[in-house]
Amino acid sequence: MSQKKTVGLLLLVAVANCSFSQNLPVDKKATTQTIHLYQNLKRLSGKGFLFGHQDDLAYGVGWKYIPEKSDIKDVTGDYPAIYGWELGRIELDHPMNLDSVPFDAMKKFIGEGYARGGIITISWHLNNPLTGKTAWDPAPGTVASILPGGEKHDLYKTWLDRIAAFILSLKGKNGELIPVIFRPFHELNGNWFWWGGKNCTSEEIKKLYRFTETYLRDEKNVHNLLYAFNTDRFASKQIYLERYPGDEWVDIIGFDIYQGNNILRNEDFMKEFDRTLTDLEEIATEKNKIPALTEFGFVGLPDSLWWTKVFLKTLQPHHIAYVLGWRNAGYTTPGHADFYVPYKGQASAKDFVDFYNADNTIFQKDIAKEKIYE
């Protein structure tokens, strides 16, 4: 073979290898099902967006732990495509999480969602390891205390051991590990959590993200995770990336946004939502990552046409993989609504059916046809 042909062949192989590696998750030992989930999330973001709901199978407005029940199913006749769950308190070896969902029940619900072809995503509002208080105790110095060499580093590793044990216990009917989208240290640009904002430096949270992933992957042999990095609302691409740990540590990038407080008006929300989605998509393209709306909501859903006239209308020109509506805790105190998707009879339920029937919304029946783990 001529030298010219040899060089040409080597270039083709190099390009092919590069293309192949760009379509794999950051964990090079990821399970087959996890790789397929990653690849199909990328593919589906061009067809529409998957709709998810936090704690969907566990409880809703006016009910708890009724088999096969779901507020979304009651309204649409279908389940969400993505099921969100929370591991806060597992680090303390408690039997239930901070929202009072027993971990044994959660494991069962995760298995049910996966068996339907749905996707699992898990967040972790871990307690403050330095003070012993909740995740919302923003004590400075906490992140530094659990990094290698810190006074609480060994404690943090025991917490990760419990996370690993739970993740590795999630198995399908054939004994395969269930893939999970794991998003630790979410909303890390805000000041309300001990891992966020002014409570630590950008370099400290980057080191913590990298250590957490390295420990789970290399020490505990957890290979059924996709890693999601997400902020709260952000003002620019530069600000978004200030605490980004690096391309080799992240599969999915996202942000959380809620309508209310200082963006109560629909027009204001839509303007900020659209701008932030645009920035996220540009970052995802530049870094070859999967873009997602990792949390959203409008508490109490007072606008009966919000789903089609505000939320869907803003999302229409964008291409993101999924959106996750926050949980339906119901009325936590008399007159205080704490729900983010409609329940049967709620003011926006009819509009949500129109949202469900839109061409680019993907729920459980749609995702099951895609066979995303194959």
Q: Give the pLDDT confidence score for residue 170 in this predicted structure.
A: 98
Based on the residue annotation, tell me whether 187 is a catalytic residue of this protein. yes
Q: Give the pLDDT confidence score for residue 328 in this predicted structure.
A: 97
Q: Band of the pLDDT at 8, cuts 50, 70, 90?
A: very low
Lowest mean pLDDT among 189-193, 197-201, 280-284, 331-335: 331-335
Q: Give the pLDDT confidence score for residue 21 in this predicted structure.
A: 55
C-beta of residue 276 within 8 angstroms of C-beta of residue 315: no
Q: Give the pLDDT confidence score for residue 46 in this predicted structure.
A: 81
Residue 289 has pLDDT above 50, yes or no: yes
C-beta of residue 323 within 8 angstroms of C-beta of residue 297: no
Which helix or strand (DSSP H or E) is residue 226 part of?
Answer: strand 225-231
Dump the DSSP string for 295-326. Answer: EEEETT---TTHIIIIIIHHHTT---SEEEE-
Residue 75 DSSP label: H
Sign of the dihedral through C-alpha 99, 104, 105, 107: positive
Q: Band of the pLDDT at 122, cuts 50, 70, 90?
A: very high
Rounded to 5 degrees, φ, ψ at 174 are -100, 15
Residue 150 has pLDDT above 50, yes or no: yes
Dump the DSSP string for 92-151. Answer: GT-SB-TTS-BHHHHHHHHHHHHHTT-EEEEE-----TTTSS-TT---TTHHHHHSTTST
Q: How far apart are CA 338 and CA 346, in angstroms?
A: 13
Q: Band of the pLDDT at 262, cuts 50, 70, 90?
A: confident
Q: Which residue in this structure is represented by tokens 């370099």?
A: 203
Based on the residue annotation, tell me whether 91 is a catalytic residue of this protein. no
Average pLDDT over residues 212-224: 98
pLDDT tens digits, 313-328: 999 999 999 999 999 9
Q: Band of the pLDDT at 12, cuts 50, 70, 90?
A: very low
Average pLDDT over residues 232-257: 98
Catalytic residue among 86, 91, 213, 295: 295
pLDDT tens digits, 293-306: 999 999 999 999 99
Average pLDDT over residues 207-215: 98
What residues does each domain of the chain span? 3-370
Residue 218 DSSP label: I
Question: Which of 131, 53, 123 lies closest to 90, judged by CA?
Answer: 123
Q: Which residue in this structure is represented by tokens 């089609």?
A: 308
Sign of the dihedral through C-alpha 204, 131, 85, 362: negative
C-beta of residue 266 within 8 angstroms of C-beta of residue 230: no
Q: Give the pLDDT confidence score for residue 4 in this predicted structure.
A: 42
Average pLDDT over residues 269-273: 98
Catalytic residue among 187, 219, 267, 282: 187
Residue 146 has pLDDT above 70, yes or no: yes
pLDDT tens digits, 63-95: 999 999 999 999 999 999 999 999 999 999 999
What percent of the chain shows pLDDT beyond 70? Answer: 94
Q: Give the pLDDT confidence score for residue 172 in this predicted structure.
A: 97
Q: What is the CATH number of domain 3-370?
A: 3.20.20.80
Q: Give the pLDDT confidence score for residue 1 in this predicted structure.
A: 53
CB count, 10 Å around CB of 259? 24
Q: Give the pLDDT confidence score for residue 333 in this predicted structure.
A: 78
Quote the tokens at residue 214.
């390295």
Q: Give the pLDDT confidence score for residue 334 in this predicted structure.
A: 79
pLDDT tens digits, 326-369: 999 998 777 788 999 999 999 999 999 999 999 999 999 999 99
Answer yes or no: pTM beyond 0.85.
Answer: yes
Amino acid 152 reads: K
